[in-house]
Amino acid sequence: MFPRAQRLTDNRVFTTLFKRGAWVRGNNFSIVFSQTPQTGKIGFVITKKVTKSAVERNRIKRRLRAAFLEVLAQSEFVNVLGVKNLVVVIYKSSEHLSFSDLKNEVTHQLTRLMSSPATPRSTAGPWLFKKGSS
């Protein structure tokens, strides 16, 4: 379990990340992230669409949290939470993956996140304008 200071619990931060954060997509989960002036935090999201059973959803989150804890303790990723807020969006069940495969995917995603230019989505995209108005 992540220490309380590293857990993302504020709903406003989740909403801001989903609106303005940059995405790194993977096979079983995606990471939404943005720079932060404070110490970074991490949160996990899984919907009922993945599995209806709350027991299975919680098991998936526990396994993914444990994988992130182990990978973030490695020397090359130790500073990720120091400067970024992360939300891990789980959209496929990872029950079938072994723990080592799960850790490999986490490592791959975090490597991509570190090399990403972190360009957030613009809030004034073309989808905000009505047709015919310019």
Q: Which domains does the chain have, with CATH numbers?
A: 4-128 (3.30.230.10)
Q: How far apart are CA 72 and CA 105, in angstroms?
A: 13
Average pLDDT, 10 consecutive residues per value, the chain (134 residues): 91 94 94 91 95 95 96 92 93 90 96 78 44 48
The helix (H) or strand (E) run that includes residue 86 is strand 84-90
CB 63 within 8 A of CB 94: yes
CB 77 within 8 A of CB 71: yes
Residue 106's φ and ψ, nearest 5 degrees, are -60, -45
CB 75 within 8 A of CB 33: no
Q: What pLDDT score was predicted for residue 127?
A: 40
Take residue 95 and report the two structure tokens written for it. Answer: 């029950």
Q: What pLDDT score was predicted for residue 33?
A: 95
